[in-house]
Each structure stands twice: as structure tokens, then as C-alpha cells.
A = this chain, B = another copy of it.
Amino acid sequence: MTRPSGRAVDQLREVSITRNFTCHAEGSVLVCFGNTKVICTASIENRVPPFMRGEGRGWVTAEYGMLPRSTGSRMGREAARGKQGGRTVEIQRLIGRSLRAAVDLEALGENSITIDCDVIQADGGTRTASITGACVAMADAIAVMQERGMIEGNPLKQMIAAISVGVYEGKAVLDLDYPEDSNAETDMNVIMGENGGFIEVQGTAEGEPYSREELNQMLDLAGKGIGELIAMQKEALK
């Protein structure tokens, strides 16, 4: 088997993480996994949603969107259609849930962080790039909160990152691009923390069910990829 991109089965695409990409957000990152490019911003507010008020804990939430022409053919704009599609809702819930696992909400106090992940160019793996970039943006936003005296101590428990793995032409591969993703037999997204624990595993058989062995191979690849991504996040944050 040869991957369409010529990469080795355990090889990430070229990844870049650019901080301060836009000027207004407390954290703003352009993350690229190959041709997949996502603007991730983290916005802070000194209050929490109504249902959490008075409990002394903070909140982290996320929204996700794709520019209409981030894809090969133009998608209808969700704002114009009047609602977010099911895929969008599913992805933004995943991003929010994952990032909350990186933060001690008690230590955040009654403050909120809102993550926005907007895909400007898509080539597979937009949700994993989003989570990986958003964690860096969130780290920057938390630093701003510290500078402004909104919080004491560091609510960031650990960096987290995400990667897709899959079974493509019978073989487990790391970080699928669109040509692989649209033909994979199995597609799995893995989110892990820097301590090596799992935050979320979502693996879907696109055609035939997958075996326990394939699952293990994919998790091995994911562990390797996430280790590399977390190293890059840390390098970017230096």
C-alpha cells in the first residue's frame, strides 16, 4: 500500500502552529495540518452562563464553523440556512468537551473561555486540528487571565491534542487527509493528554466492522502522533 500523499503509515502531515494570528482575541492561533487550516481563537469573559452562576466554577465551551468555500464545492452558509448542521453540532460538542478535560474548572473561578474554530481550508482532520490548535489558544488566553489578575494559579492541568487514525486499504494509518478519509474503512479520532491518558476515543466503521487488533494498531499510532503534536504545542508556546 502507498498512501496518496506518499507518507509513511505513522507519519503526520506537516504541522504548523502560528500564535497571535489575529489581533483581538486573547488567544489566536492558525493551525495547519497539511492543507487543513483552522483559525482557533480563545475569548475570555469574567462570568459564566446563568445555569452555573454562584457555584464558583468556570466554563469552557466551543463553537465550530467552516467557511462556505473551505471545501471543494461550496457549502451553504449555516447562518443563512438558519441552523447549524448535525456534523457541526457534533464537532463543537467534542471540541468543548475535550478542552474542558484540560482545565481545572474550579481553579478558573467564575470565568469563561469560549473557543471558536473556523476552518478556512479543509483537507481532512479539521476537528483534530481544531482541538490541537485551540489548546494552544486557550493556553495563551489563560496567560492573559493571569496577567489581568482574573485568576490565581494555573487552571491548565495539561496540554491535550487530537489526531485521526484509520484503516486505509487494510492498513492502520496516522493523520488521514481527505483522499484517505473519504475512502477509509475505519475512521477514529483520538484525543489524549500529555500524560498519555485518553480523553476521548471515537472510532467508526465506515464499511465492515473493525477488529480488536485493528483498534489496538490505531491507538498505537495515535499515541505516537499525539506525542509529537504535544511537543510541537510546547515548542510553539515557548
Q: Which residues of B contact A172 (CB under 8 A)?
A: none
Q: How many copies does the complex hold?
A: 6
- Chain A interface main SS type: mixed
A-side interface size class: 35 or more
Separation in Å of the A18 CB from the closest CB of chain B?
Answer: 13
Cβ-based interface call for A24 (8 A): yes
CB distance from A197 to the nearest CB of B (A): 2
Which of A5-13, A88-96, A127-135, A229-237 contacts its partner?
A: A88-96
B residues within 8 A CB of A25?
A: 69, 74
Tell whether, in the assembled complex, residue A118 and residue B67 are in contact, meaning their CB atoms are under 8 Å apart: yes
Contacts from A to B (Cβ < 8 Å): 22-25, 28, 35, 37, 39, 41, 43, 45, 63, 65, 67-74, 77-80, 82-84, 86-90, 92-93, 97, 101, 114, 116, 118, 120-122, 188, 192-193, 195-205, 208-212, 215, 219
